[in-house]
Structure formats: C-alpha cells, structure tokens
Amino acid sequence: MHKKLTSLALAIIFSLSLAGVSLAAKCKGTVESVEEGKVIVVIDGKCKLKPGEAVTVKTKKKAIEGC
C-alpha cells in the first residue's frame, strides 16, 4: 500500500513540474546588434518581458554541406 501511495505522489509531483516548464514563454525575434557582451534583440509580436529579466537564447544550427 505504501509503494502505491509513494508512486502516486511521485507521479503527481513529476506531472506538475512538467506543467510548469510547458508554461514558459516563447518569444521570437531578430538580433539587432552585439556589443561587448550586450545583445539587442527586436522581438516579433507581443511578448511580456521586462528590462533586466533573465532569458535563454537558442541559436539555429547552420547546415554543413557534404561531399
């Protein structure tokens, strides 16, 4: 009985943590300039970001041509 309750509790905690990750904002934009560690990005559309807020930037991978 304890194993079932423990596994149920872990499943609920895991599903709630995934729900928090899926609610993260996704904004698209283009880089306007890069100067000494500062990047200025122009955001397309509406995105609720505040100055000084921490963000993660993912870059697109460039294709490498083969032989």
pTM flag (> 0.75) = no
Output the pLDDT for position 31: 85
Sequence spans of domains, the chain: 2-44
Q: Examine the pLDDT at 32 and tell me if it is beyond 80.
A: yes
**Cα–Cα distance for residue pair 7/46, rounded to 1 Å:** 41
**Does residue 22 surpass a pLDDT of 60?**
no
The 3-class secondary structure across 1-61, one letter per residue, is CHHHHHHHHHHHHHHHHHHHHHCCCCCEEEEEEEECCEEEEEEECCCCCCCCCCCCCCCCC
Asked whether the predicted pLDDT for residue 25 surpasses 70, the reply is no
pLDDT at 26: 76
d(CA 20, CA 24): 7
CA distance linking residue 59 with residue 34, whole number of Å: 14
